[in-house]
Amino acid sequence: MARRPFVAGNWKMHGSSASNQALLAAALADGKRCAGVDVAVCVPFPYLAQAAGALQGSGTGLGAQDVSEHASGAYTGEVSSAMLADLGCTHVIVGHSERRSLHGESDALVARKFVRAMASTLKPILCVGETLAEREAGQTEAVVLRQLQAVVQTTSPERWAHAVLAYEPVWAIGTGRTASAQDAQAVHARLRAALATWGAPADAIRIVYGGSVKPGNAGELFSMPDIDGGLIGGASLVADDFSAICDAAQRTH
């Protein structure tokens, strides 16, 4: 099945009202130029309104980088899925490795956040990935399947068509090291097979790769049959690089 490629920028904790303007204008142009590619940017909470204004009415999606597991209430500092949808978000990242490792997010908490996003209009971008130690111990498959299964078993898998899965090997994030296209493809194929086994519409679900994707390696990664685009950190902060990666997604699909 032909899946539309998905390319999302993850700005992490970078940006300012002034510097965001050029990046948002470029992302808007990327979304228009790259017909057939779904482009989105995931910006820090304080800039969601600015980004929503800049991207309004365009095809470029807007994502947050995290969401509360709770619907509303006395949860100081938390942001609900309803608030994100209200601000115009289309997507939200759930379970990024930095949330898992630096903020102690467990598989179970990630699953609850995913369910919360699904209950609103947001499309969750669920991140899974192994650490270097886990890879070297031959545990890559076991780790990513455990992380995925924790989420699958708390949701109705048949509702997954709009979810995006991101395979992000932790050792490749922000390090300049990338999984080889073949290694990434093998993990993506395994994840897709598992989704099918669990009753999810596996052929329709975009599985994107993240971890030091740059203009120079995007084409090779995206030409793999089960790699449907990318979640882009560092390179999404350089407008020309992000544009080149969006172009690569269009060229290879």
Residues carrying an active site annotation: 96, 168
Instruction: Determine the Cα angle at 163 with ends 84 and 96, to 5°.
Output: 70
Using CA atoms of 35, 66, 152, 61 in order, give the dihedral in degrees to the nearest 10: -10
Contact between 243 and ligand PGA by CB under 6 A: the answer reads no
Stretch that binds ligand PGA, among 32-40, 100-108, 114-122, 228-236 (CB under 6 A): 228-236
Min CB(73)–ligand PGA separation in Å? 29
Residue of the chain from 84, 163, 170, 173 that contacts ligand PGA (CB under 6 A): 173
Indicate the burial class of 13 (C-beta count within 10 angstroms; 0-12, 13-18, 19 or more): exposed
Contact between 10 and ligand PGA by CB under 6 A: the answer reads yes
Residue of the chain from 169, 234, 243, 245 that contacts ligand PGA (CB under 6 A): 234
Site residues for ligand PGA, 174-193, by CB under 6 A, read 174
Contact between 233 and ligand PGA by CB under 6 A: the answer reads yes
Indicate the burial class of 131 (C-beta count within 10 angstroms; 0-12, 13-18, 19 or more): middle
Helix H segments across the chain? Answer: 17-33, 48-55, 81-86, 97-102, 107-119, 132-136, 140-152, 181-197, 215-222, 239-251
Contact between 165 and ligand PGA by CB under 6 A: the answer reads no
Contact between 15 and ligand PGA by CB under 6 A: the answer reads no
Stretch that binds ligand PGA, among 22-30, 132-140, 143-151, 225-233 (CB under 6 A): 225-233
Q: Distance of CA 228 to CAs 14, 26, 188, 231, Å?
A: 26, 22, 9, 10
Residue of the chain from 15, 129, 211, 229 that contacts ligand PGA (CB under 6 A): 211
Footprint of ligand PGA on this chain (CB under 6 A)? Answer: 10, 168, 173-174, 210-213, 231-235
